[in-house]
Amino acid sequence: MQAEPIDVTPEPSPSPAPPKRRRNRLIVLGSLAAVGLIGVAFLGTASWRILQQKDAKLDTPAEVAGLRLDESERAKTTADYLRTAIGARIDLDQSIGVVYADPASTDRSVLLFGGTTLLWSPEKDLDSLFEVLADDTGTVTGLHEVPAGELDGVMKCGESAAPEGNLTVCGWADHGSVVIAMFPGRGQDDSADLLRKIRTTIQSRP
């Protein structure tokens, strides 16, 4: 009886399983790389913003945005008091405290106080100044963010109770300056707009 030939043709190898572990590792590494790039971009943007804003200067000209510097003794005493109060809360390189009178109305003077220094957390320092104001004039309510204008940073407005009646308070902060202003007889939109105009006049950067 003749033996049947033996089939020596190699059987096809099974298809290799997809390298799931390797693919997952690549996905994880890709995600980490993406997060890293985002982090680097964020840090780069933040560093550029700090470098751009950190050396701010504040001037107090005789006239600004249609207002005139009030050099009366009463105005100087009030401004100096608040300037001293904020100096106890934030260590400033330069501080200002002035009153600008509105020629159209004696009841619409603007009290401006603050200063310059390197600020790592501008919004936090601005909120700190609002707390100083609340300690002296009463609680600041309805505090909310408003457009800061071309000089960037953060700007907020709210309302403070006072014996003579409620008044609007607004302030700005960036990485080089922090300032708060009190606006008796003005609404919040008008006050925010006026503060932006004041800021573009009194604040400068190298």
Rg (CA), the chain: 31
What is the SS3 assignment for 96?
Answer: strand
pTM: 0.76
Specify the residue for token string 């100083």.
Answer: 132
Segment 62-112, tens digit of pLDDT? 999 999 999 999 999 988 888 888 888 888 999 999 999 999 998 899 999
Segment 11-57, tens digit of pLDDT? 555 555 455 566 665 554 555 444 444 444 445 667 888 988 889 99
Distances 41 to 5, 37, 77, 120 between C-alpha atoms, Å: 71, 6, 47, 18
Q: What are the tokens at 126? A: 């601005």
From CA 135, how far away is CA 176, in angstroms rounded? 24
CB-based contact 65:201 (threshold 8 Å): yes
